[in-house]
């Protein structure tokens, strides 16, 4: 099944030296009925970031990806 999820979010960074991440609210991902980490194609601001792992982060109430450094400001 292929479907598109359009989300507006912010690239976050807890501390310099740690990876950046983008959170996607659990409710936005619910239609996909994911059971665990999955690979997704990610475009950001018109730039194809490529395949990334979408991982669940229960403590934060979201799914997240680590964007490639090349697309981070």
Does the reported pTM lie above 0.85?
no
What is the secondary structure of 5-56 as a DSSP string? ------EE-SSTTSPPEEEEEHHHHGGG---S-EEEEEEETTEEEEEEEEEE
pLDDT score of 61: 93
pLDDT score of 42: 87
Is it the case that residue 2 has pLDDT exceeding 80? no
Confirm whether 1 is domain-assigned.
no
40 bridge partner residues: 52
Confirm whether 22 is domain-assigned.
yes
SS3 state of residue 63: strand
Q: How many residues does the chain have?
A: 73
**Between these two residues, 68 and 36, which has the higher pLDDT value?**
36
Residue range 9-50, pLDDT digits in tens: 888 888 888 889 999 999 999 999 999 999 999 888 787 888
Confirm whether 6 is domain-assigned.
no
User: Domain total for the chain?
Assistant: 1
Confirm whether 37 is domain-assigned.
yes
């Amino acid at each position: 099944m292929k479907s598109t999820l359009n989300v507006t979010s912010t690239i976050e960074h807890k501390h310099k030296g740690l990876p950046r991440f983008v959170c996607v609210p659990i409710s936005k991902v619910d239609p996909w009925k994911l059971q665990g980490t999955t690979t997704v194609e990610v475009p950001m601001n018109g730039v194809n970031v490529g395949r990334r792992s979408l991982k669940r982060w229960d403590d934060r109430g979201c799914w997240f990806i680590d964007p490639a450094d090349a697309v981070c400001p």
